[in-house]
Amino acid sequence: MKIAIIGGSGFVGTRLVELLSSYDCELLNVDKQQSVFYPDITVLANVLDKEQLSKCLHNVDVVVLLAAEHRDDISPVSLYYDVNVQGMRNVLAVMEQNHMKRMVFTSSVAVYGLNKNNPDEEHPTDPFNHYGKSKWQAEQVLQEWYQSHPDWNINILRPTVIFGERNRGNVYNLLKQISSGKFMMIGSGNNKKSMAYVGNIVSFIHYLIGNVQEGYHVYNYIDKPDLTMNELVTHVSTVLKKHIPSVHIPYTLGMLGGYGFDFLARITRKKLTISSVRVKKFNATTQFDATKALSTGFVSPFSLQEGLARTLEFEFIHNASRGVVFYSE
């Protein structure tokens, strides 16, 4: 089997290549950036350039589409739709041109919006930001495509926030702040946060490639059970073997601080780690139903607590990244 990973030079793609390399398959990474770890299988191309893509993708059995604009602060906002939506159209056109009929696409639980009540895959979509809106539009492109291509196999994965070794996103920033001992809890800390360890995400993608080879399917992916913010702080304290005091501040005060950082970012034209959007995300309840993914027979190789422990030990005990990291949300 030949598997093409589009956007495989990033955080999830690198871990997926690492996993798939241990199996009997041929791998191709198509990305606009060179892979630090797998340059020998990487071809440089942009999803916005159909000619480039067409030159790369030949005799491929499965396309895994990871490429996306996903940060909170992308400017101009049209890039979300150029890359995430038009990029999808370009990939589908090239796949049809080259007689490829199987895709695994990583969408996002951002399509549901904030503060929903444990939505499953049938829950109405209500994205609140351009990232979520563009991911939902990309899914709609796939829905329309499948209606006229019923012999294709399309698997859509909607993961919650992904974390793991070498990632520099929201979860890493949160773990770093907690581990520093200077952590301020916004609100009560009883809101639950769905998370997914990267080792489980790539294992589920591998499972879909091998075991769900027909039809059109959508899966939420979350590592269960969800932890409250208070439970997360306790787990970090246990793994790092240190007392971590937690100061609680009211949500309203936290949002005011977020707006202040928004203003500061605008006048300095710098990307700051704190913003009103991130405060809102931090305090939101983000629980999602993962029953459908579990019903496939997939068994995650790591528990959520194990994934957190592996990340904490790698980053904050052994400091093992040696500067090779991936920035995301």
Name the residues annotated as catalytic: 131
Please give the structure tokens belonging to residue 94. Answer: 């090239």
Task: Please tell me the distance from the alpha carbon of residue 112 to that of residue 166, in angstroms, as a whole number.
Answer: 27
Residue 46 half-sphere exposure toward CB, CA atoms < 13 A = 7
List Cα–Cα distances, 17 to 3, 97, 202, 261, 275, in angstroms.
10, 25, 9, 38, 33
Say if CB 123 and CB 70 are below 8 A apart.
Answer: no
Token pair belonging to 103: 């895709």
Residues 6 or more apart whose Cβ sits within 8 Å of residue 52: 45, 46
Which of the 8 DSSP states describes residue 136?
A: H
Residues with Cβ within 8 Å of residue 216, at least 6 apart in sequence: 142, 143, 146, 152, 153, 154
Q: From residue 220, how far is each of 36, 107, 171 by CA, in Å?
A: 29, 9, 19
259, amino acid identity: Y
Q: Which helix (H) or strand (E) holds 64?
A: strand 62-65
Contact 164, 198 (CB under 8 A): yes
Closest by alpha carbon to 290, among 277, 304, 276, 278? 304
The encoded tokens of residue 107 equal 């969408």
